[in-house]
Structure 1
Amino acid sequence: MKKIIKVCALAALATAPFMGSVAEASDYPNRPVKFVVPWPPGDLEDILTRIIAEDMAKETGKPTTVVNKPGGAGIVGASDVARARADGLTIGSFVIDILTTHLLSGNAPYDKDTFEPVGIFLDYPFVLATKADSKYNNIEELAEYSQTHDVSLGHFGYQALPTAITFKVAAQEGIKFSSNAAFDSNDCSTLSNGDADVINTTTQQILACLKSGDVKLLASLTRNRLSIAPDVPTLNEQTGISQTTWNGLFVKKGTPEAVKQRIAEIAEKALSSDRVKELSATTGAGIYWIGGKFAEEVVTKDYEASKSLLDYMKE
C-alpha cells in the first residue's frame, strides 16, 4: 500500500506543472487583457489589434485594452511586454524589426528568446511616397534627380527594417539623400510641411492625401503590387530587393500553449470579418493568419535574412 501511495504521489508531482497550465488556460483570461502596440494610434497594426481586442472582450467577457507605447522605434512597447508575466494577459503587437533588426544591432534590452509568436497577421503596405508635383515618379528617376538636387528622407527610425531596406536601395541605385530623419508618424503633413521630400511609410498613414491626389507613390515594399495602386511597380520589380515587413501577436516565452491557442482562435476569427476585408481592400494590406510552428519558422527565417541589412542601419 505504501508503494502505491508513493507512486501516486510521484505521479501527482510529475503532472502538477501540466495540470497548473491546463487550469490556467481553461480560466483564461481571469483578469483584464492588455494589448501593447509600440506605435502611435491610427496605423494598420493599431486598427487590427483593436479589432482583435474588441472580439476578445466579447468572447471572454473580460475587459480588454489596447495601449499605445511609442518610442525607440518600437523598443519602449516591446520592453513593456518583456517585463510582463508569461500568462497571456499582456500581448505585444509587434512589427518584424522587434524580433530581428533590433536584436541583431544590439539595440534591444531583451534577447532572442524573450517572446513567442501567437501568430503573424499583417503584411504592411509599406511604400516610398512623395508629393504629387515632385519631378520624379519612380526609383530610377529619384536617383537621377538626387544627383543635382537636395532630397530629404523621412522614416520610422534607423533600426526599422523598412528604413534599412530604403538605405540599401539608395546605396544600390545611387540615390543621394541630402538628409534623413526619424518620425513616429510619417503622414501627409510630413510631406506638406516640408519635413521630408520622400517618406518611407504605410498607405494607411497617407490614404487621405493619396485619395486627394496630393501625394504619389514611387514604389511599394510589398510582395505584390498594391490593389489600390496597381500601376505602381514594387521595389522588387524596380531593384530586385524583395524583403517585406509584417506584424504579429507575441507573448512572453513560457506562456501556456493552451493560452496561446485561445488567443489565436479569437484573433483568427476577428481577422476574417467583413470589416477587416474592407480594410485590406482600401489600404492594399495583406491580412491573413499564420500561427504556431509556421509563425516560428517565419521569425527564424527573417531573423537570418535581416543579417544582410545590418550594414545599412545607422546609429
Structure 2
Amino acid sequence: MKTIIKACAFAALAATPFVSSVAAAADYPNRPVKFVVPWPPGDLEDILTRIIAEEMAKETGKPATVVNKPGGAGIVGASDVSRARPDGLTIGSFVADILTTHLLSGNAPYKQDTFEPVGIFLDYPFVLATKADSAYNNIDELAEYSQQHKVSLGHFGYQALPTAITFKVAEQEGIKFSSNAAFDSNDCSTLANGDADVINTTTQQILACLKSGDVKLLASLTRDRLSIAPDVATLNEQTGISQTTWNGLFVKKGTPEHIKNRIAEIAEKALSTDRIKELSATTGAGIYWISGKLTEDVVANDYEASKALLEYMKE
C-alpha cells in the first residue's frame, strides 16, 4: 500500500510542471499586450501584425494594440522592445536587418542575444520600381541608361538590408546612381514628386500606382516571382543575387517558453484565414508561419550571410 501511495505521489509531482505550465499559459496575458512595429503604419508588416493583435485580443479577452515607432531604420522601435520586461507583454514585429545588419554594423544599442524569436510570418515583396514612362524596364537596361543619365535612388536607410542588396546589385551590374536618399516611406508620391527616379520599396506601398499603370517594376527582391507581376523577373533571375528579407515576432530574452508558444499559437491561427490568403494573392507577399528551431536557424543563417553586405552600407 505504501508503495502504491509513493508511486501516486511521484506521479503527481512529475505532472506538476506540466500542470503549472498549462495554468501559466492560460493566465497569459494578464495585462494588455503591445506589439511594436518600427515603421509607419500601412505596410505589410503593420497590416499583418494588426491582424495578429486582433486575434490575440479575441483569443485572450485582453486588449492587444499595435504601436508604430518609426525611426533609425527600425532601431527606435527595436530599442523600445529591448527595454521591455521578458513577460511577452511587449512583442516586436521585426524585419530581418534588425537582427542582422544593424548588429553587424554596430549601430544597434542592443545585443545579438537581446531578443528571442517567436516566429517568422512574412517574406517581403520588395521591388525596384520606377515611373512607367522611364526608359528602362529591367536591371540591364537601368545599368546601361545610368551610364549616360542621372538616376537617383530612394530607399529605407543605409543600414536596411534591401538597401544593401540594392547597392550590391548596382556595383555588380554597373548601375550608376547619381544620388540616393533614405525615406521612411517609399510610395507613389516619392516617384511622382521626383524625389527619386528608382525606389527600393514593397509592393504594398505602391499598389495604387501599379494598378493605375503609373509605375512599373524592374525586379522583385523575392524568392519567387510576384503573383501580381508574374512577368517581372526576380533579382536572382537577373543577377544571381538571391538574398531576400522577412519579418517576424520577437520578445525579450528570458521570456518563458510557454508564453512564446502561446503567442506562436495565436499568430499561426491568425495567419491561416481566407483574409490572409487574399492579402497574399493581391500583394504578392509570401505569408506563412514558422517557429521553434527553424526560426532560430533562419536568423542565424541570415546573420552570417549579411556579413558580406557590410561593405555596401554607410554610416
TM-score normalised by the chain length of structure 1: 0.93
Residue 196 of structure 2 is matched in structure 1 by 196
Q: Which residue identity is paired with 1:94?
A: F
Encode CA deviations 1:45-82: one digit per residue, 9 max, x unaligned: 00000000001100000011000000000000000000
Q: Does 1:307 align with 2:290?
A: no
Encode CA deviations 1:239-294: one digit per residue, 9 max, x unaligned: 00000000000000110000000000000000011111100000000000010111
Q: Which residue identity is paired with 1:277?
A: K
Residue 155 of structure 1 is matched in structure 2 by 155
Encode CA deviations 1:154-193: one digit per residue, 9 max, x unaligned: 0000000000000000000000000000000000000000
**1:234-253 aligned within 5 A:** 234-253=234-253
Residues of 1 paired with 2:83 and 2:19: CA distance?
25
Residue 7 of structure 1 is matched in structure 2 by none
Secondary structure at 2:92's aligned position in 1?
Answer: strand
Q: Which residue identity is paired with 2:114?
A: T
Q: CA deviation at 1:126?
A: 0.1
TM-score normalised by the chain length of structure 2: 0.93
Deviates more, 1:41-50 or 1:23-32: 23-32
Residues of 2 paired with 1:239 and 1:132: CA distance?
22
Residue 178 of structure 2 is matched in structure 1 by 178
Q: Which residue identity is paired with 1:208?
A: A
Q: CA deviation at 1:26?
A: 3.2
Gaps of 5+ in 2: 1-12
Q: Does 1:130 align with 2:130?
A: yes
Aligned residues of 1:25 and 1:256 also touching (Cα < 8 A): no
Residues of 2 paired with 1:180 and 1:285: CA distance?
26
**1:28-39 aligned within 5 A:** 28-39=28-39
Aligned residues of 1:118 and 1:248 also touching (Cα < 8 A): yes
Residues of 2 paired with 1:191 and 1:28: CA distance?
45
Q: Which residue identity is paired with 2:46?
A: D
Residues of 2 paired with 1:254 and 1:273: CA distance?
31
Secondary structure at 1:74's aligned position in 2?
Answer: helix
Residues of 2 paired with 1:17 and 1:308: CA distance?
45
Aligned residues of 1:21 and 1:256 also touching (Cα < 8 A): no
Deviating runs (4+, > 3 A) in structure 1? 15-26
Q: Give the number of aligned pairs.
A: 303
Residues of 2 paired with 1:40 and 1:135: CA distance?
31
Residue 286 of structure 2 is matched in structure 1 by 286
Secondary structure at 2:288's aligned position in 1?
Answer: strand
Residues of 1 paired with 2:139 and 2:132: CA distance?
15
Residues of 1 paired with 2:292 and 2:106: CA distance?
27
Secondary structure at 2:207's aligned position in 1?
Answer: helix
Residue 96 of structure 1 is matched in structure 2 by 96
Q: Which residue identity is paired with 1:52?
A: I
Gaps of 5+ in 1: 1-11
Q: CA deviation at 1:314?
A: 1.1
Deviates more, 1:24-33 or 1:92-101: 24-33
Q: Which residue identity is paired with 1:312?
A: Y
Q: CA deviation at 1:20?
A: 7.7
Q: Does 1:276 align with 2:249?
A: no
Q: Which residue identity is paired with 1:32?
A: P
Encode CA deviations 1:91-120: one digit per residue, 9 max, x unaligned: 000000000000000010000000000000
**Identity between Structure 1 and Structure 2 (%):** 88
Aligned residues of 1:163 and 1:200 also touching (Cα < 8 A): yes
Secondary structure at 1:93's aligned position in 2?
Answer: strand
Q: Which residue identity is paired with 2:37?
A: V
Residue 81 of structure 1 is matched in structure 2 by 81
Aligned residues of 1:82 and 1:252 also touching (Cα < 8 A): yes
Secondary structure at 2:301's aligned position in 1?
Answer: helix
Secondary structure at 2:117's aligned position in 1?
Answer: strand
Residue 10 of structure 2 is matched in structure 1 by none
Residues of 2 paired with 1:191 and 1:128: CA distance?
12
Q: Which residue identity is paired with 1:185?
A: S
